[in-house]
Amino acid sequence: MQTSRLAALLKERYDNVADKKKAVEVVLFGVEYAEVLKTQSEAAVCAAFGIGKWGPQIALGINLAAKVKLKP
């Protein structure tokens, strides 16, 4: 999956959640797309979306993905 597509998915999720839940949503994005994001730069995804400060939260989600399961 291309960086621009990942950025679009992140933007959609980020824009459709309350301000207080944005950090959680970004971490969950990292969990859900961990396998794809391992071949991408978190910073590049954030830059493509225009939210540079969230790279560490995406990285946290990628790291958590090995330990957690998302509920359907």
Distance, in Å, from the CA atom of 65 to the CA atom of 63, rounded to the nearest integer, reads 5
Decide if 57 contacts 27 (C-beta within 8 A).
yes
Ranges of each domain in the chain: 3-64
Instruction: Tell me the whole-structure pTM to 2 decimals.
Output: 0.89
pLDDT for position 25? 94
Average pLDDT of the chain to the nearest whole number: 90
Cα torsion 62, 13, 72, 35: sign: negative
Rounded to 10 deg, the angle between the 3-15 and 22-32 helix axes is 140
Of residues 72 and 7, more confidently modeled: 7
